[in-house]
């Protein structure tokens, strides 16, 4: 099982597209991926744990994988390392 944590903020204009990319890629993979969305305004301690200074940030299996919104191709390529 691959764990994706997507760190976002309600005021971030780039967060909705990042969420969309994650949702599309996970749907295409058809399982084996657990996704959690974390609002850094509500859970700042989780962002601090990873040293996150900007959103969106995507963490895969406990490692920061992307700062900013990746393309579908970039996310698929990164996930292929874990699946």
Which pLDDT score, from 0 to 100, does residue 49 have? 95
Residue 83 has what pLDDT?
78
Q: Which helix (H) or strand (E) holds 47?
A: helix 44-50
- For 2-80, CATH gives 3.40.30.10
Q: In the chain, what are the domain boundaries?
A: 2-80
Residue 58 · residue 22 · CB < 8 Å = yes
Give the per-residue pLDDT at 31. 83
Per-residue pLDDT tens over the stretch 29-74: 888 899 999 999 999 999 999 999 999 999 999 999 999 999 999 9
Is residue 17 over pLDDT 90? yes
pLDDT surpasses 90 at 19:
yes
Indicate the SS3 state at residue 39.
strand
């Amino acid at each position: 099982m691959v764990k994706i944590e997507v760190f976002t903020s309600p005021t971030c204009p780039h967060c909705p597209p990042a969420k969309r990319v994650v949702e599309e890629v996970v749907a295409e993979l058809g399982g084996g991926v657990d996704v959690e969305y974390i609002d850094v305004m509500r859970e700042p301690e989780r962002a601090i744990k990873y040293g996150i200074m900007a959103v969106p940030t995507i963490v895969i299996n406990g490692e920061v994988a992307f700062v900013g919104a990746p393309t579908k191709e970039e996310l698929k390529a990164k996930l292929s390392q874990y699946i």
